[in-house]
Amino acid sequence: MGTALVYHEDMTATRLLWDDPECEIECPERLTAALDGLRQRGLQQRCLCLTACEASEEELGMVHSPEYVALVRRTQTLDKEELQALSKQFDAVYFHPNTFHCARLAVGAALQLVDAVLTGAVHNGLALVRPPGHHSQKEAANGFCVFNNVAIAAKHAKQKYGLQRILIVDWDIHHGQGIQYIFDDDPSVLYFSWHRYEHGRFWPFLQESDAHAVGQGQGQGFTVNLPWNQFDPELVLVSAGFDSAIGDPEGRMRATPECFAHLTQLMQVLAGGRICAVLEGGYHLESLAQSVCMMVQTLLGDPTPPLLGLMVPCQSALESIQSVQTAQAPHWTSLQQNVAPVLGPSTRFPEGRSLPLLAENPTYEAAEAALSPLQGELCLRPTPPICTAVALAVPGAALALPPGVLLQEESALREETEAWARLHKSLFQDESLVALGKILCLLGGILDGQVRNGIAVTAALATAATVEVIIQRCLSHGAQRLLCVALGQLDRPLDLADDGRVLWLNIRGKEAAVESMFHISTPLPQTTGGFLSCILGLVLPLAYGFQPDVVLMALGPAHGLQNAQAALLASVLRGPAGGRILAVVEEESILQLARTLAQVLLGEAPPSLGPFLMASPEEIRALRLLKAQLEPRWKLLQAAAPPPGSCSPIA
Ligand code: X5A
Ligand code: ZN
């Protein structure tokens, strides 16, 4: 099971034949640049490469009218003047004698990808296509798009596989109004788009791209923005445009390639990881290639590089999020429960790039000038040779582990282990001393980049002491910031300095409490809604805001987490520290839990959390209290979603 890459070189066979500054950026080199990037970085070789076939006219008919399909078919025989005249009838479109063939291949590629994912041949995949699709409508080409590749793919998934809930995430910089129109009244397809709008002054200049457009009829509430776990889709289609990336002449925004790795990873917790991404826009060749590589690398399960930069949402982004919440609230009870110092990059783990400093609102030219020294410099993180290693105290538990994990047999040097153990004399004896040796060795592997992530199993009594040793070892070996998410009976080590190097987040206990900006406690919510709010609205923004080098997820005695909850937590915590995460689990809860955690750390999607329950009033109160106290320091909390109260729209 892997990642599919669907392509056909014929899709480079359409191009602009006359002068048109608006359309010239949609050129064949977009595909070859993306593909070369994937090949050069060894990513194409790791994918299952499929050759696209043309979609049938019946398949096109799921979205487009026969008259429109016939019109596009006729362009095959038109001469240049006729093509140009026809193109003018649409907004930002050009036709070429090969357009019909290419556009059918683009649809066919998207359908093949859906088939590959839904038959289980692969986990996920990307279709590299031209022309793009998301602006195209039932009877109209628009914005370089001829047939609506992603919309047809969604119809296909519904018709052929009987899916009832499909999420379309459109991260192209333009609003995919074509997809919105097609599914406007269809509650089985949730269309989420984020796009540049400028209060209607950015192409395609439409009122209906704004937050108040929520869908019509039965489809009300199924257009636009929602916090991602509630709809619980069976399939995620991504309209993957990369024209929001830094350097793009059309979008003129500044998303780094790394952003697309994180966006992809966030999608991976949904729909059991079934993601079909289809290329839309993206017009700066090098920036496009880098962003595509980041996405494919993440689809393949590689760790995401750290996100750099100031973790502070800008005022206008917060306003946009707020207006979407207001517009959607009548349709989603979840949104009715509204909850009303920045650190430098780490030098110890230098695989992330430092970005050029730009003025608050740089001109496009300034952004591009700053970008050019970065060209070609994108270093995909060297992937550690070992993915997930597990250090076990009890050898028998190895039986439960999925294939692909490495059993940590090697130990740290005896003297070193004993020196660490001496700090906690009474607690490490015999077996637990052996376990500590293995854990130290595993941690060394993670810090040195030999191992991506790991699970350390400890005797219940030794858990707290082990966590202390791990923290000290990380700090004395160059980690600048360590995030500890602790559950169950585990207290913050007493002699740990509160100097900002360790962010300790306790998820347990009765009361929410802010001991300091780096020592935070919150109760473990008992409802799915409360749990999701806690993870997405608190843990995730804190983790990304802290920008840790290493994440420690410690499940102490009586941690109370269900396996699926632990899996979601681990999955989310893979993001912020370049995938460097060590889970410490006390042995009582080992068997099934270690297996589930290992699967997630290997890159699989977490299992479903089960039936949805509204967050309780106490849970909401605790989160609000923490947000209010923490927001001055942890600015990403301002953008956090409010606690979900319901899993479905109000009928
Ligand atoms: C797919 C896509 C953009 C059209 C822009 C016209 N289309 N100015 O990115
Ligand atoms: Zn676009």
What's the pLDDT tens digit per position in 548-587? 999 999 999 899 999 999 999 999 999 999 999 999 998 7
Q: DSSP string covering 154-215, please?
A: HHHHHHHH----EEEEE-SSS--HHHHHHTTT-TTEEEEE----GGGTSTT--GGGSTT---
CA distance 38 to 599: 26
CATH topology for 386-639?
Arginase; Chain A (3.40.800)
Q: Using the mean position of ligand 2's atoms as its centre, give its distance from the Cα of residue 491 in Å.
A: 49
Where does ligand 1 bind, in terms of residues with CB under 6 Å? Answer: 22, 92, 132, 135, 143-145, 172, 174, 203, 241, 243, 250, 280-281
pLDDT of residue 400: 75
Task: Name the percent of the chain lying above pLDDT 70.
Answer: 88
Q: Using the mean position of ligand 2's atoms as its centre, give its distance from the Cα of residue 173 in Å.
A: 5
pLDDT of residue 142: 98
Contacts with 259 (C-beta within 8 Å, 6 or more apart), sequence order? 245, 307
Q: Pairing between strand 386-391 and 502-507?
A: unpaired
pLDDT of residue 586: 85
The answer to whether 508 and 620 have CB atoms below 8 angstroms apart is no
Lowest mean pLDDT among 169-183, 223-237, 388-402: 223-237
Please choose from 26, 27, 136, 196 the residue to mutate so as to test ligand 1's pocket, defined by most ligand atoms within 8 A of CB. 26
Of ligand 1's listed atoms, the one at least distance from the Cα of 22 is 8
The H-or-E segment that residue 347 falls in is: none
Beta-strand ranges (E) seen in 327-423 are: 386-391, 405-407
Task: Name the percent of the chain lying above pLDDT 90.
Answer: 65
> Of how many residues is the chain composed?
651
> pLDDT tens across 392-403, in order?
876 666 667 888
Q: Using the mean position of ligand 1's atoms as its centre, give its distance from the Cα of residue 369 in Å.
A: 23
**Ligand with the closest atom to the CA of 244:** 2
Q: Using the mean position of ligand 1's atoms as its centre, give its distance from the Cα of residue 541 in Å.
A: 32
pLDDT at 318 over 90: no
Say yes or no: do domains 3-305 and 386-639 share a fold.
Answer: yes
The answer to whether 130 and 16 have CB atoms below 8 angstroms apart is no
The answer to whether 536 and 229 have CB atoms below 8 angstroms apart is yes
Nearest to 612 by CA among 268, 160, 185, 227: 227
For range 519-529, the mean pLDDT: 94
Per domain, the residue ranges of the chain are 3-305, 386-639
**Ligand with the closest atom to the CA of 143:** 1
CA distance 27 to 21: 12
Q: Ligand 1: which residue has its CA nearest to atom 3?
A: 143
| Phi-psi domain of 515 (left: phi exceeds 0; alpha: psi -120 through 50; beta: other) | alpha
Of residues 55 and 650, more confidence is placed in: 55
Angle at 273 between CA 570 and CA 555, to 5 degrees: 15
Report the helix count and the strand count for the chain, using DSSP H and E: 19, 16
User: pLDDT-derived band of residue 337, with 50, 70 and 90 as boundaries?
Assistant: low
pLDDT of residue 549: 94
Burial class of residue 45 (count of CB atoms within 10 Å of its CB; 0-12, 13-18, 19+): exposed
For range 474-500, the mean pLDDT: 93
Q: Which residue in this structure is represented by tokens 């955690």?
A: 597
**Ligand with the closest atom to the CA of 136:** 1
pLDDT of residue 545: 95
Chain centroid to CA 596: how far?
20
Nearest to 117 by CA among 288, 331, 274: 274
Compute φ and ψ for 362, nearest 5 degrees.
-70, 150
Please choose from 14, 23, 144, 173 the residue to mutate so as to test ligand 1's pocket, defined by most ligand atoms within 8 A of CB. 144
The answer to whether 49 and 5 have CB atoms below 8 angstroms apart is yes
Of ligand 1's listed atoms, the one at least distance from the Cα of 280 is 1
CA distance 72 to 328: 37
Q: Using the mean position of ligand 1's atoms as its centre, give its distance from the Cα of residue 203 in Å.
A: 8
Please choose from 174, 194, 283, 291 the residue to mutate so as to test ligand 1's pocket, defined by most ligand atoms within 8 A of CB. 174
Task: List C-alpha distances in Å: 301 to 444, 449, 504.
Answer: 22, 16, 28
> pLDDT tens across 17-32, in order?
999 999 999 999 999 9
> pLDDT tens across 97-116, in order?
999 999 999 999 999 999 99
Q: Ligand 1: which residue has its CA nearest to atom 1?
A: 281
pLDDT at 437 over 90: yes
Of ligand 1's listed atoms, the one at least distance from the Cα of 173 is 9
Nearest to 292 by CA among 309, 305, 303, 279: 279
Q: Ligand 1: which residue has its CA nearest to atom 9?
A: 281
Lowest mean pLDDT among 173-182, 324-333, 336-345, 412-421: 336-345
Give the number of other Cβ atoms within 10 Å of residue 454's Cβ.
29
Please choose from 145, 253, 278 the residue to mutate so as to test ligand 1's pocket, defined by most ligand atoms within 8 A of CB. 145
Nearest to 466 by CA among 428, 434, 411: 428
pLDDT at 359 over 80: no
Compute φ and ψ for 507, nearest 5 degrees.
-115, 85
Positions marked catalytic: 135
Q: Using the mean position of ligand 1's atoms as its centre, give its distance from the Cα of residue 202 in Å.
A: 11
User: Under CATH, domain 3-305 is a member of which superfamily?
Assistant: Histone deacetylase domain (3.40.800.20)
Q: Using the mean position of ligand 1's atoms as its centre, give its distance from the Cα of residue 43 in Å.
A: 27
Chain centroid to CA 439: how far?
29
